[in-house]
Amino acid sequence: MSTDYKFKKFLTRRYQLLASVLVLLAVGLVLLPKRIKNDGVSPELFVNNVLSDERFISSDDLADRMINKDPSMILVDVRSKNEFQKFTLPGAINVPLENFLNEETLPYLDQNIYDIVLFSNDNFFANEAWLIGNRLGFNNLYVLKGGLNDWFSTIFNPTVPPETANKEAFDLYDFRKAAALYFGIGVYEKESAPDVRNASPKPKKVTPAPKKKKAAPEGGC
Amino acid sequence: MKELEKTKRISISAVIFLLVLVIALLTYKKPKYIFLKSSEQTLQETVQKKYLLGQQEFNKDSSNFVLVDTRDLYEFNKSHLPNAVNIPLKDVLEETTIDYLETINDQGKSPVLYGTNPSEVVSVWMTLYQLGFEDTKVLAITTKNERNSLIVSDYSLEKAETDYRKTLDSLRSLKTKLEVSEKKVEKKTAPIKVAPAPKKKKSVPEGGC
């Protein structure tokens, strides 16, 4: 009788022990340090994405896509509203940098259908906007390399390549002239005028008069 | 006997329970680095532009700053600013880099980043800022390697090179103006007609036997 009682006592103690272990673990959960959440991508991925230059799109490529009316592209001007109203690229929408993570703009950025091309005067602000987007894992963002400054000096006002330049340089120049015409600027005339003014008229080709056939020697016996 | 079986079952389940806990703890991986700043905080800091440091501000108390060159090692070895250390973007997450930056912080100094242009440097800045190095600055300069010496020039942030609207209008009006001037010019330099020299006719060989 007494052994049975002791055995029961021992068992209840064991239950108590196990129960206390569980309670201790539960208390431990409360005491655990607050887990720091990393919103967006990991630092390693962030740096890897930044290291690649893929985000930059040149003004020539952009012009090409605009002329071809690429429907999968949205231009986003990240400058201030004031600057946007003064001048912007055709078809661009304005998202000032400070509004970049607003509720209205996020749906534009966080999608997989459209390519978003960010631009500003230089590419500084646009690059910053891209970096913020990269942090959040948006992967359809691009940056116009050189920004509007570059756009003006290449598309709207291209410089004539030196005569020693290769064929590609001239092809590119022709493309830029045509693009400028598309955007309503007569660069073509601008380029041809100084040529004339420089008083170096192109030498007219002198087509040599066709040689007369030698007359068959006349006479004879 | 019944009781014994019961305890056996309970102890087995308790052991399994603890085992699961131990496995969970062992497999828990803590990420090496974590962005301590949220994207909103980063955006705010970016917009405020407090991190940009002019050359004069830097020279005022340069003893509080440590210059950090963010270009790659090749360019750094060619030339760099005096007392600068080299931390290219790809090495930012190295342990030695983070340790070094922490020691700088402990000394009460703040790292000042520079590179070819601030637009490149800002990515390094943003990485460091998000990792929690809040005191990091960016020197507003552009640099260029030339004949093994570093040419430093001031950088004006996002400056429009021309007044876009005006330039655009002038380019558009140029078209009509030039059409007129072209006509005038053409009159002046009327192409000189080059009359082909009359070729002498070969004398027809005269007959004869």
* B112 min Cα distance to partner chain A (Å): 18
Q: Considering only the beta carbons, identify the residue of A43, A153, A221 that sits closest to B93.
A: A43
* A100 min Cα distance to partner chain B (Å): 8
Q: Is residue A194 over pLDDT 50?
A: no
A213 touches chain B (CB under 8 A): no
User: In terms of CATH architecture, what is A43-153?
Assistant: 3-Layer(aba) Sandwich (3.40)
Q: Considering only the beta carbons, identify the residue of A97, A148, A186 that sits closest to B47.
A: A97
Task: DSSP letter for A78, please.
Answer: -
Write the ipTM.
Answer: 0.74
Question: Given pLDDT bands bounded at 50, 70 and 90, which one contains residue A78?
Answer: very high
Question: Given pLDDT bands bounded at 50, 70 and 90, which one contains residue A191?
Answer: very low
**Cross-strand bridge partners of residue B146:** B149
CB B64 within 8 A of CB B108: yes
Percent of residues, chain A, with pLDDT higher than 90: 33
Question: Given pLDDT bands bounded at 50, 70 and 90, which one contains residue A109?
Answer: confident
A187 touches chain B (CB under 8 A): yes
pLDDT lower than 50: segments of chain B? 186
Q: Considering only the beta carbons, identify the residue of A43, A201, A208 that sits closest to B189.
A: A201
Question: Given pLDDT bands bounded at 50, 70 and 90, which one contains residue A197?
Answer: very low
CB A29 within 8 A of CB B71: no
pTM to 2 decimal places: 0.73
Chain A residue numbers touching B20 (CB-CB < 8 A): none
Q: With helix as H, strand as E and coil as C, how does chain B read?
A: CHHHHHHHHHHHHHHHHHHHHHHHHHHCCCCCCCCCCCHHHHHHHHHHCCCEECHHHHHHCHHHEEEEECCCHHHHHHCCCCCCEECCHHHCCCHHHHHHHHHHHHCCCEEEEECCCHHHHHHHHHHHHHHCCCCCEEECEEEEEECCEEEEEECCCCCCCCCHHHHHHHHHHHHHHHHHHHHHHHHHCCCCCCCCCCCCCCCCCCCCC
* A68 min Cα distance to partner chain B (Å): 22
* Cβ–Cβ gap B158/A36 under 8 Å: no
